[in-house]
Amino acid sequence: LLVNVSQGSTKKMPDNLFGVSFEEINNAGAGGLWAELVSNRGFESGGLHTPSLIEPWSIIGDYSLVRIATDFSSCFNRNPVALRMEVLCDSNACPDGGVGVYNPGYWGMNIEQAKTYKLVLYIRSLDSINLTVSLTDSTGAQTLAASNIIATHVSNWTKVEIALIANATNHNSRLELKTNRKGIIWFDQVSLMPMDTYKGHGFRNDLFKMVANLKPGFIRFPGGSFAEGKSLISAYWWKDTVGPWEERPGHMNDVWAYWTDDGLGYFEFLQLSEDLDASPIWVFNSGFSQEQAVNPSNIKPLDVLDGIEFARGDPDSTWGSLRADMGHTEPFRLNHVAVGNQDCWRQDYRENYLKFYAAIKKAYPDIKVISNCDGSNTQLDHPADLYDYHLYANANTMFSMARKFDLTPRIGPKAFVSEYAVTWDDARYGNLLAALAEAGFLIGIEKNCDIVDMASNAPLFLNANTPGNKGFRPDAIVFDSYQTYGTPIYWMQHFFSMSNGATLLDSTLQTNSSNSLMASTIWFQNPIDKKKYLRVKVVNYGSNKVNLKIAFEGLDDHGLIDYSKSLKTVLSSTNVKDENSFQNPTKDYIAGHYARELASYHKLLRIPVYVKL
């Protein structure tokens, strides 16, 4: 590999070249990054009718002793359904500990010893109340934390807040609400949040860190299909996801078949972007769900402008003031919006798009507008700052697509590769083969960073409990209630984590195996020690061992390059179908080997070379 380090042959790489694409899919948010432990906290998951779905709430005790049903008695206008619990037994006639309801969360709540959990619930009863609230193991036998709510005047809806401190750890716990007093109690908006979320912002710490470690330059949200919905009523409408959490209606994520309370709403996505120091990229609904369409005459760009005002407006503007009320007086730095997801094929897409484009550019000329139409082969027939490009393919096709943008004309808007992934049989949950093929593709993107502005893998997260027929595999990060690991796809992305804003050097492979090898070299400044490093990345997608010699041209490598400090990182395994797991989370990742040996075989190598300047 011949690397030319001289100034003339360099390319400045975009500051946000690599980022992440977050979608509410596979319980990535509800039951994942968003730390809320109660599932269906407002009893609304069946929609705005009764009986609504109560699941996963269940009763404790016999149906002859306790009965539950939903009705429209809530004090919240936008989510009118509440739970009515009728207890038919009294004191000694009730079983020990009482009867009631429990919520197992999203496949079990993670309760950890000595940690504090904030329980908030709304209650109402015409009788006096003596309620035990507790965190228990999955059967209710072991109590991890408990408290009592004793109240006589709750005939109007009353908000109760309790801090529960756990006396033991159980990763598969549940929340119980029990009584042994006859009568009727209504419950609504029952929330249990761990107190130690990232900066208190509600993000599960371990999952936040997994994303932060990728150093994403941007975060696309709230997803692809999730933004569209199958039906329009289930699309992502940002106004339903802001304001006090108790008042948010929540909605059925009908593409991925689960309910979300929208605790992770538009505000929280913007907050997440800020916490990650990543540019927010908001995908708004362009007037299409997967099965329906808004009549173009009813397209309302104003709704989107309101969303931009919510993010960036002054704290005294209509929507900026709501943001300020939610605790963020300063504007968020929203600079990109995407008009829909995969909607270019829709008959009226262009008509809708142009309405949104004109309105946004008039009010916010600096905002970059992303079209759904592919401009990589032919010029777009409408104005856009960027065009969205998605690639789902088998491993061989993905690797061959490393050359995809070589031939794209250097005029017109740049590409935003917002979703790419090796799918299904070639990847299963995310194996080494998928990671190598994607690494080849990303090296191709680095080399074409003059016309590809941003790229992100998709999907980002998978809750391992998501039923196989519901979720989307493979994914970068897998988790359950308390643990997480990165698939090789995740670790592969670390090889590119220093590329944002770096300098691409000219590197040429001089080999007969060039069909199965891809390589790139960047200069970057380490933000911690402020020193300059070269990082050489090589992927060997072939099945033959290759002896690779790296030579630097244009630099006195004896004088300037300190090889003794070079560090080799390898993503490899004995079998390309190997995957990581909770038990073996880094099977396919060998970090931090000091070495000069550069032979590779089914490997992705990263060799940052420390340079004395």
Of 182-190, 221-229, 258-266, 438-446: span binding ligand AHR (CB under 6 A):
221-229
Of 139-147, 164-172, 219-227, 287-295: span binding ligand AHR (CB under 6 A):
219-227
> Which tokens belong to 430?
């995310």
Minimal distance, residue 157 CB to ligand AHR, in Å? 38
Cα–Cα distance for residue pair 430/95, rounded to 1 Å? 48
Q: How far is CA 75 from CA 84, 124, 129, 153, 240, in A?
A: 13, 10, 19, 16, 17
4, 13, 22, 23: which one contacts ligand AHR (CB under 6 A)?
23
100, 250, 459, 471: which one contacts ligand AHR (CB under 6 A)?
459
Nearer to ligand AHR, 223 or 250 (CB): 223
Tell me how many degrees the CA angle 247-21-311 measures, rounded to the nearest 5. 45
Cα–Cα distance for residue pair 352/376, rounded to 1 Å? 22
Residue 105 makes contact with ligand AHR by CB under 6 A: no
Residue 236 makes contact with ligand AHR by CB under 6 A: no
Q: One-letter amino acid identity for 552?
A: F
Q: How far is CA 554 from CA 507, 559, 608, in A?
A: 12, 12, 18
Contacts of ligand AHR in 398-437 (CB under 6 A) = 419
Residue 391 makes contact with ligand AHR by CB under 6 A: no
Residue 474 makes contact with ligand AHR by CB under 6 A: no
Minimal distance, residue 338 CB to ligand AHR, in Å? 11
Residue 475 makes contact with ligand AHR by CB under 6 A: no
Cα–Cα distance for residue pair 508/520, rounded to 1 Å? 8
DSSP string, 558-573: HHHEEGGG--EEEE--
Residue 458 makes contact with ligand AHR by CB under 6 A: yes
Alpha-carbon Rg for the chain in angstroms: 27
Q: One-letter amino acid identity for 566?
A: S
DSSP code of 14?
Answer: P
Nearer to ligand AHR, 81 or 458 (CB): 458
Minimal distance, residue 466 CB to ligand AHR, in Å? 13
222, 223, 249, 471: which one contacts ligand AHR (CB under 6 A)?
223
Q: How far is CA 426 from CA 403, 438, 567, in A?
A: 20, 12, 30
> Which tokens belong to 485?
């690991």
Residue 290 makes contact with ligand AHR by CB under 6 A: no
Residue 373 makes contact with ligand AHR by CB under 6 A: no
> Which tokens belong to 610?
């420390």
Cα–Cα distance for residue pair 353/336, rounded to 1 Å? 15
In the complex, residue closest to ligand AHR by CB: 224
Residue 173 makes contact with ligand AHR by CB under 6 A: no
Strand partners of residue 570: 590, 605
Q: How many residues bind ligand AHR (CB under 6 A)?
A: 11
Minimal distance, residue 464 CB to ligand AHR, in Å? 17
8 Å CB contact between 219 and 20: yes
225, 279, 352, 448: which one contacts ligand AHR (CB under 6 A)?
225
472, 490, 524, 552: which one contacts ligand AHR (CB under 6 A)?
472
Nearer to ligand AHR, 143 or 290 (CB): 290
8 Å CB contact between 389 and 224: no
Q: Which residues bind ligand AHR (CB under 6 A)?
A: 23, 25, 223-225, 341-342, 419, 458-459, 472
